[in-house]
């Protein structure tokens, strides 16, 4: 093993698996975990659809149904949609920007474990009949102490705590890695659009998550220690919950959507065989979407009797956000039009599916953003249709395109193209059959979150059709699973750049080695693999006896200094366990926060405790200032 | 179906429906255009020139801005029209409970206030101003044929106007998730010609009908002697609890249990015997009564028109 | 304030989910059965032999939903009219540890159903059995004696008493 391999290798066996800080291993298991939660939440939806397939059905009673739709929504939004995007980003971004790991590798591991434990907690409590039951947005007073007995609402609030922290950790990684660890020469104007999208998303996470943290904390304290935040009789306000939640909740859906926009901006140009048209416009559009998304939240509250003039501003903002989104769509179409003959493959199929489905969702979104129309459509199945069109069309289809696109890089195998087409068509047709009728059901007066309806309502036929579509989606997911399993078993390694794509991650082997790049490349183009000659200019002199990365300057990626990253450690895993115990305990007693902080403190001390051998190595590669100056002078002389 | 957004039965819901068709038409055109360009871009054989592409994008952005502005303005003006204060409305106070609607018609004279539940009768052609609030959690009043919805929030009073152009029955449902029986919290809005409405209103003002036969008389005794009086009231008797719906004129209503079942003696008896079978989780408990007591009670209540 | 051992044990038990099963049950209708035979002793002074043991356990001492229903019924049936919100007015306080007729579940049950001298009405014919048991569980929770994870939090109304889940145990 070369010194580089040795330095970046994990310990063997289960200890290595638990203590790894390799962003690729963590990213991959993170993606797999989110997909497991996706499958579980999807099964809950299947049960709901079975219940709703017939009028006055008795498959599931109201109590279980309420938990079904609440856990479905909560799991999909907090355990799948946001985390899967972050997970893909944590895998790809260091590769795309030409570095060896994320900025805070142990924190990365901690963020994954905390996410896993929180997600497991949600499904365990659901199995124990303590699942959340007031919807994924858990409105008070229904979720408050008087109307929600037991611990169901408290576990929902604690799930938020787990996933918020995990999301914030991911956001910090992404911002710092993308801003400070790019390969030399990769100015901000040469950064891949997926990285831009993830940076923008991460800033949205940083600003939005505190709001839901506040809301859920107030709910926890109202329920546990009798604060009065949401009690109108004692000076609180039920609308406070809605404002705090939706101030987070609206950016949340863009946190889910913007990464998908980034993925499309990577996939589509590869198959159009030209770089994206209007790179600067695309970046500006992403940033505009992020800013605007913070000004829309009241459109979830249009029926609460707020002053009409104030609500008009939110209508204006809600409608305005269609503009940067539309700009992105137009630029992509222009890219397809001006490229060479389009090459069709499964990743592009899913991206095309995005266009067909998401645009419908965007247009119904403009309808819902209009206060007048929203007064009829809000809280009906029209909204259920809209949200699935934008989330599945806008995020899941590009995500699947991303899976087919990046699968060879992550695993070293290609996914079957034929199975991919079956996957796509079953998903596309099943999705539209499942969700388009819901627009009509909403217009026919069917409200959301009803566990049953009467035969006299006339809603039965469309509900039955929708259920058939839902099961078609389930079949398409099975096809995907079979495709993945069979492809992993197939012999034949994928080449390092099977799609002839342009960005740096394709310069590594499939899958990449633990250290990503044997030498850090120097970049002088937005599409390095299309324009730069091989072998590319590279950075030399990074010490290889410790995990080192090159830290560069923010806007022009000039080398700044060498940073030494932490080595693998079991402490993040242990810290996550301690944190979990503290959080779960605080559902039952506020003292858990006090006593639980002790083990957390201990694990954090272990985490940061210096290792003698590593310290010795660090000393050995330290360069004193005078020595450093002498070396620079010598180099200049040698180069001149 | 009398609960459709696109089958409006009043000027307010008509305004909304018309606006909706405008949005749908624009959306359909936009969708077809964008998909058309996409398909053309995927299928074309020669590269389009960058100039054409950039120009098309700029034009598309400009057209999008104009369309969005137009849609926004049309919504704004529709909203203003709908928000106009009605002249001489009939005021009704609606209080939402888990899982029924308490309705009280306002009047300057307290003796002329009608209190009923789950069924709102209104005169045609006259604006109705609803004052909405909730007793427990957040609910939402939605009768699609007549108007958009408005939430009922504890600690707040919201307003909603209704106008029915023609007589008829218009069904609605609670549209904000409110617990176990959110699915069975319907409201019937029945529009009557003005004279019919006045006749109905005057009938509602009267106390409960006296029992017409010994069975019904026994039924009233059963009512007054058992658990019913802990929650319900019947004007003209000693039963005056207000935790549950007013039963003074229960037999005049179209449906029972906030729209769960049609109102007839058999359903009434079934509901009283075991409400949890029809509406699991409802706050009304099962009443332990002997068979003929139950029949007598149902007979009595069925006469309370 | 430190967590006493029973409370800590209760927390850990609740966390394992074993206790959670019963706490979270939402039983909308119980089988009716026969009316409870009132043989509950009201004092421990007995003529002749051994006092009869209690004949019924509270079905709801560990059921958070039932206790919260009891809380609702306490207001709906106007128990507050005499007992205020537990502090007592015309009728005795229910939040303290003084029980004229006993604090065992069946004793409270028979108090509600039979009525008592000096003003407690007999609700036997007026309140169905299941709801009486819900009230019994709630009344017992008022003095803070039930498990903390099962007791209700604060109400969404003016705060006239501390939440049972934050009340020190007055058995």
Which string of DSSP letters, residue by residue, matches A561-627? EEEEPPPP-SHHHHHHHHHHHHHHHTTT-THHHHHHHHHHHHHHHHHHPPPHHHHHHHHHH---HHH
Query: Residues A531-548: what's their mean pLDDT?
Result: 87
A602, A578 contact by CB (below 8 A): yes
- The answer, yes or no, to whether residue A43 has pLDDT greater than 70, is yes
**A122, A79 Cβ separation under 8 angstroms:** yes
CB of A130 less than 8 A from some CB of C: yes
Q: What is the pLDDT of residue A147?
A: 97
B143 contacts B172 by C-beta, under 8 angstroms: yes
A133 touches chain C (CB under 8 A): no
A355 in a structural domain:
yes
Cross-chain residue pair C130–B287, CB shorter than 8 Å = no
> Could you tell me if residue A580 is inside a domain?
no
State how far residue B265 is from chain C, nearest Cα, in angstroms. Answer: 23
**pLDDT tens track for A479-495:** 999 999 999 998 778 99
Spatial separation of the C-alpha atoms in residues A400 and B225, rounded to whole Å: 66
Q: Which chains touch C (3 or more CB pairs under 8 A)?
A: A, B
- Give me the residues of C, 128-167, that contact B with CB < 8 A: 128-131, 156
Nearest CA of chain A to the CA of C120: how many Å? 27
The residues in C 80-109 lying below 8 A from A, measured between CB atoms, are: none
Note whether B42 contacts A277, CB cutoff 8 Å.
no
**Phi, psi torsion values for B5, nearest 5 degrees:** -60, -35
Q: Mutation target for A interface from C5, C155, C163: give the one with most A CBs within 10 A.
A: C155
Residue of chain B nearest C31, judged by CA positions: B286
**Is 90 exceeded by the pLDDT of residue A223?**
yes
**Among the partner residues B154, B243, B274, nearest to C76 by beta-carbon distance:** B243
- Please state the rounded mean pLDDT for residues A497-526: 94
Hey, are the CB atoms on A139 and B136 less than 8 Å from each other? no
Q: Does A505 touch chain C (CB under 8 A)?
A: no
Handedness of CA A551, A555, A558, A561 (dihedral sign): negative
Residue entry with tokens 């279980």: A64
Radius of gyration of chain B (CA): 26
Q: How far is B39 from chain C (nearest CA, A)?
A: 54
A138 inside domain: yes
Report DSSP state, residue A391: I
Q: Collapsing DSSP states into helix, strand and coil, what is residue B275?
A: helix
Give bridge partners of residue B160 from the DSSP assignment.
B130
- Number of structural domains, chain A? 1
CB crowding A128-141: b at 16 or more within 10 Å, else e? bbbbbbbbbbbbbb
| Closest B-chain CA to C76 | B243
Contact yes or no for B288 and C72 at CB 8 A: no
Q: CB distance C152–A124 less than 8 Å?
A: no
- H helix or E strand, kind and range, residue A93: helix A82-97
Q: Which residue has the higher pLDDT, B27 or B288?
A: B27
B156 contacts chain A (CB < 8 A): yes
Tell me if chain B has a CB within 8 Å of the CB of C32: yes
Residue C41 pLDDT grade (very low, low, confident, very high; cuts 50, 70, 90):
low
Q: Is A573 exposed, middle or buried (0-12, 13-18, 19+ CB in 10 A)?
A: buried
Cβ of A145 and C154 within 8 Å?
A: yes
User: What pLDDT digit, counting tens, does each position of A131-183 carry?
Assistant: 999 999 999 999 999 999 999 999 999 999 999 999 999 999 999 999 999 99
- Decide if C68 touches B, using CB distance below 8 A: no
Q: How far apart are the first and last CA of chain C?
A: 19
pLDDT tens digit sequence for C101-159: 988 898 999 999 999 998 999 999 999 999 999 999 999 999 888 988 999 999 999 99
In angstroms, the first-to-last Cα distance of chain B is 27
Quickly state the pLDDT bin for C94 (edges 50, 70, 90).
very high
pLDDT recorded at residue C42: 64
Rg of chain A in Å (alpha carbons)? 25
From chain A, the residues in CB contact with C19 under 8 A are: none
Q: Between chain A and chain B, how many beta carbons pairs sit less than 8 Å apart?
A: 229
User: CA-based angle C23:C28:C31, to the nearest 5?
Assistant: 105
Q: How far is CA B88 from the centre of its chain?
A: 22
Please report whether residue A533 resides in a domain: no
* pLDDT for the residue C38: 54
β-strand pairing of B90-97 with B128-134: parallel
Minimal C-alpha gap between C55 and chain B (Å): 22
* C-alpha closest to that of B4 among A450, A462, A379, A446: A446
Residues of C in contact with A153 (CB under 8 A): none
Give the rounded percent of residues in chain A with a pLDDT score beyond 90: 92
Whether residue A11 contacts residue A19, with contact meaning beta carbons closer than 8 Å, is answered with yes
C21 contacts on A by Cβ (under 8 Å):
128-129
User: Within 10 A of A411 (CB to CB), how many other CB atoms are there?
Assistant: 17
pLDDT band with cut points at 50, 70 and 90 for residue A31: very high
**pLDDT tens string B61-114:** 999 999 999 999 999 999 999 988 888 999 999 999 999 999 999 999 999 999
CB contact under 8 A, B274 and C29: yes
Would you call A570 exposed, middle or buried from its count of C-beta atoms within 10 A (0-12, 13-18, 19+)? middle
- pLDDT for residue C2: 42
B38–A308: do the CB atoms touch at under 8 Å?
no
Q: What is the domain extent for residue A199? A: 3-505
DSSP-assigned states of every residue in A251-266: HHHHHHHHHHHHHHHH
* pLDDT tens profile B119-128: 999 999 999 9
Residue from B26, B32, B52, B57 whose CB has the most chain A CBs within 10 Å, to mutate: B57
What are the structural domains, with CATH classification, of chain C? 53-153 (1.10.760.10)
Mean pLDDT of B164-175: 97
Is A625 part of a structural domain of the chain? Answer: no
Q: Between chains, do C77 and B230 touch, taking CB under 8 Å as contact?
A: yes
Residue of A nearest to C8 (CA): A589
At C1, the pLDDT band (50, 70, 90 cuts) reads very low
Could you give the CA distance from residue C43 to residue C41 in angstroms, rounded to a whole number? 6
Please state the pTM of the whole predicted model. Answer: 0.95
Nearest of B180, B175, B123, B170 to residue B152 by alpha carbon: B175
Contact list, A379 vs chain B (CB under 8 Å): 140, 142, 149, 175-177
With contact defined as beta carbons under 8 Å apart, do A267 and A237 qualify?
no
pLDDT at A261 over 50: yes
Look at residue B97 in the predicted model and tell me its pLDDT.
97
Residue A610 forms part of a structural domain: no
Q: CB distance B71–A315 less than 8 Å? A: no
Q: pLDDT confidence of C34, banded at 50, 70, 90?
A: very low
For residues A342 and A11, the model is more confident at A11
What pLDDT band is residue C16 in, cutting at 50, 70 and 90? low
Residues B57, B70: Cα–Cα separation, whole Å? 20
Cβ within 8 Å, pair A226-C154: yes
CATH number at residue A55: 1.20.210.10
What pLDDT, on the 0 to 100 scale, is given for residue A630?
A: 85
pLDDT given for residue C18 in this prediction: 65
Q: Which of C26, C29, C124 to mutate to test the interface with B (most CBs of B within 10 A)?
A: C29
Residue of A nearest to C163 (CA): A226
Contact C28 B274 (CB under 8 A): no
Strand partners, B261: B256
Whether residue B286 and residue C72 make contact (CB cut-off 8 A), yes or no, is no
The answer on pLDDT for B256 being more than 50 is yes
How far apart are alpha carbons A392 and A377 in whole angstroms? 20
pLDDT for the residue numbered A627: 84
Q: Is pLDDT at C56 greater than 80 in this prediction?
A: no
pLDDT of residue A537: 86
- Band of pLDDT at residue C5, cut at 50, 70 and 90: low
For chain B, percent of residues with pLDDT exceeding 90: 93
The CA distance from C47 to the nearest CA of chain A, in Å, is 44
**C24 → closest Cβ in A141, A146, A152:** A152
Q: Is residue A560 part of a domain?
A: no
Question: Which H/E stretch holds residue B116?
Answer: strand B115-117
Question: Is A336 contained in some domain?
Answer: yes
Cis preceding linkage at A141, omega within 30: yes
In chain B, residues with a C-beta closer than 8 Å to the C-beta of A370 are 19, 23, 71-72, 75
User: How many A-C residue pairs are in contact by the CB < 8 A criterion?
Assistant: 93
């Amino acid at each position: 093993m070369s010194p580089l391999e040795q330095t970046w290798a994990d310990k063997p066996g289960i200890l290595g698996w638990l203590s790894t800080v390799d962003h690729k291993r963590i990213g991959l298991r993170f993606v797999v975990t989110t997909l497991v939660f996706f499958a579980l939440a999807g099964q809950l939806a299947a049960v709901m659809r079975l219940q709703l397939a017939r009028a006055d059905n008795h498959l599931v009673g109201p109590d279980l149904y309420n938990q079904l739709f609440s856990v479905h929504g909560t799991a999909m939004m907090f355990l799948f949609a946001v985390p899967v995007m972050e997970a893909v980003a944590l895998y790809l971004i260091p590769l795309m920007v030409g570095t060896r790991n994320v900025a805070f590798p142990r924190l990365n591991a901690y963020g994954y474990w905390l996410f896993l434990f929180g997600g497991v907690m949600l499904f365990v409590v659901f199995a124990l009949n303590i699942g959340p039951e007031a919807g994924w947005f858990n409105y008070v007073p229904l979720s408050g102490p008087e109307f929600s007995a037991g611990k169901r609402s408290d576990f929902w609030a604690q799930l938020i705590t787990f996933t918020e922290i995990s999301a914030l950790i991911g956001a910090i990684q992404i911002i710092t890695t993308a801003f400070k660890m790019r390969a030399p020469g990769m100015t901000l104007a040469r950064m891949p659009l997926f990285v831009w999208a993830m940076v923008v998303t991460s800033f949205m996470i940083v600003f939005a998550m505190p709001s839901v943290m506040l809301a859920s904390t107030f709910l926890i304290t109202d329920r546990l220690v009798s604060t009065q935040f949401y009690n109108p009789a004692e000076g609180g306000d039920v609308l406070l919950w809605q404002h705090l939640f939706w101030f987070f909740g609206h950016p949340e859906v863009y946190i889910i959507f913007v990464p998908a926009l980034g993925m499309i901006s990577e996939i589509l140009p590869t198959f159009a065989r030209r770089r994206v048209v209007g790179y600067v416009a695309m970046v500006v559009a992403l940033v505009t979407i992020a800013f605007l998304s913070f000004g829309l939240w009241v459109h979830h509250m249009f029926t609460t009797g707020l002053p009409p003039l104030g609500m008009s501003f939110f209508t204006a903002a809600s409608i305005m956000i269609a503009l940067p989104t539309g700009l992105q769509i137009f630029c992509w179409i222009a890219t397809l039009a001006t490229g060479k003959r389009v090459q069709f493959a499964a990743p592009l199929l899913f991206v095309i599916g995005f266009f067909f489905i998401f645009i419908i969702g965007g247009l119904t979104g403009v309808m819902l953003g209009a206060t007048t129309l929203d007064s009829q459509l809000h809280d009906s199945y029209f909204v259920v249709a809209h949200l699935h069109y934008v989330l599945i069309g806008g995020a899941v289809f590009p995500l699947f395109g991303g899976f087919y696109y990046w699968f060879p890089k992550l695993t070293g195998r290609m996914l079957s193209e034929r199975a991919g087409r079956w996957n796509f068509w079953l998903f596309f047709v099943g999705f539209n059959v499942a969700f388009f009728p819901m627009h009509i059901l909403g217009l026919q007066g069917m409200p959301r979150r009803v566990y049953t309806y009467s035969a006299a309502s006339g809603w039965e036929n469309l509900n039955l059709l929708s259920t058939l579509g839902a099961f078609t989606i389930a079949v398409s997911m099975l096809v995907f699973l079979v495709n993945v399993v069979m492809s992993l078993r197939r012999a034949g390694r994928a080449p390092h750049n099977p799609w002839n794509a342009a960005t740096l991650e394709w310069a590594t082997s499939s899958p990449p080695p633990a250290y990503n790049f044997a030498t850090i490349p120097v970049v002088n183009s937005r599409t390095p693999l299309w324009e730069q000659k091989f072998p590319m200019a590279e950075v030399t002199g990074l010490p290889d006896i410790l995990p080192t990365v090159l830290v560069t300057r923010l806007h022009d990626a000039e080398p700044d200094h060498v940073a030494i990253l932490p080595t693998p450690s079991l402490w993040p895993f242990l810290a996550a366990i301690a944190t979990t115990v503290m959080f779960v305990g605080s559902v039952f007693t506020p003292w858990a926060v006090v006593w639980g902080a002790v083990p957390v403190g201990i694990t954090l001390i272990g985490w940061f405790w210096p290792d003698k051998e590593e310290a010795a190595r660090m000393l050995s590669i330290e360069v004193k200032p005078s020595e450093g100056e002498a070396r620079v002078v010598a180099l200049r002389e040698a180069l001149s | 179906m009398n609960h459709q957004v696109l089958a409006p039965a009043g000027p307010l819901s008509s305004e909304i429906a018309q606006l909706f068709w405008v949005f749908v038409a624009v959306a359909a055109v936009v969708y077809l255009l964008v998909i058309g360009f996409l398909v053309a871009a995927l299928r074309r054989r020669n590269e389009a020139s960058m100039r054409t592409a950039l120009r098309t994008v700029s034009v598309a952005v400009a057209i999008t801005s104009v369309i969005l502005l137009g849609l926004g303005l049309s919504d704004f003006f529709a909203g203003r029209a709908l928000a106009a204060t009605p002249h001489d409305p009939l005021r009704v106070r609606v209080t939402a409970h888990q899982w029924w609607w308490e309705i009280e018609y306002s009047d300057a004279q307290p003796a002329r206030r009608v209190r009923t539940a789950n069924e709102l009768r209104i005169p045609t052609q006259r604006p109705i101003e609803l004052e909405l609030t909730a007793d427990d959690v957040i609910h939402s009043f939605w009768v699609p044929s007549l108007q958009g919805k408005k939430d009922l929030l504890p600690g707040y009073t919201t307003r909603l106007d209704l106008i029915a152009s023609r007589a008829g029955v218009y069904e609605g449902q609670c549209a904000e998730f409110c617990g176990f029986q959110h699915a069975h919290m319907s409201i019937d809005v029945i529009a009557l010609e003005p004279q019919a409405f006045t006749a109905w209103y005057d009938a509602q003002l009267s106390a409960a009908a006296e029992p017409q036969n010994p069975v019904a008389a026994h039924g009233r005794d059963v009512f007054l002697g058992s658990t019913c009086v802990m929650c319900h009231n019947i004007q003209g008797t000693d039963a005056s609890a207000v935790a549950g719906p007013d039963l003074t004129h229960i037999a005049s209503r179209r449906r029972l249990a906030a729209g769960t079942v049609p109102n007839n003696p058999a359903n009434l008896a079934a509901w009283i015997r075991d409400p949890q079978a029809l509406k699991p989780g409802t706050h009304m408990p099962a009443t332990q009564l002997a068979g003929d007591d139950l029949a007598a009670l149902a007979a009595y209540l069925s006469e309370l028109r | 304030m430190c967590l006493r051992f029973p409370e800590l044990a209760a927390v850990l038990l609740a966390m394992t989910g074993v206790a959670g099963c019963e706490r979270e049950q939402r039983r909308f209708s119980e089988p009716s059965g026969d009316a409870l035979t009132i043989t509950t002793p009201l004092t421990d002074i007995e003529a002749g032999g051994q006092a009869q043991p209690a004949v019924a356990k509270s079905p709801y001492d560990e059921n958070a939903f039932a206790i919260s229903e009891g809380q609702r019924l306490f207001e709906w049936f106007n128990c507050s009219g005499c007992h205020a919100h537990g502090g007592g007015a015309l009728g005795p306080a229910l939040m303290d540890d003084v029980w004229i007729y006993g604090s065992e579940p069946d004793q409270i049950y028979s108090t509600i159903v039979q009525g008592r001298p000096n003003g407690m009405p007999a609700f036997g014919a007026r309140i169905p059995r299941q709801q009486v048991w819900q009230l019994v569980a709630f009344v017992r929770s008022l003095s803070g004696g039930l498990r903390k994870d099962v007791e209700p939090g604060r109400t969404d109304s003016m705060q006239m008493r501390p939440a049972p889940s934050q009340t020190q145990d007055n058995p």
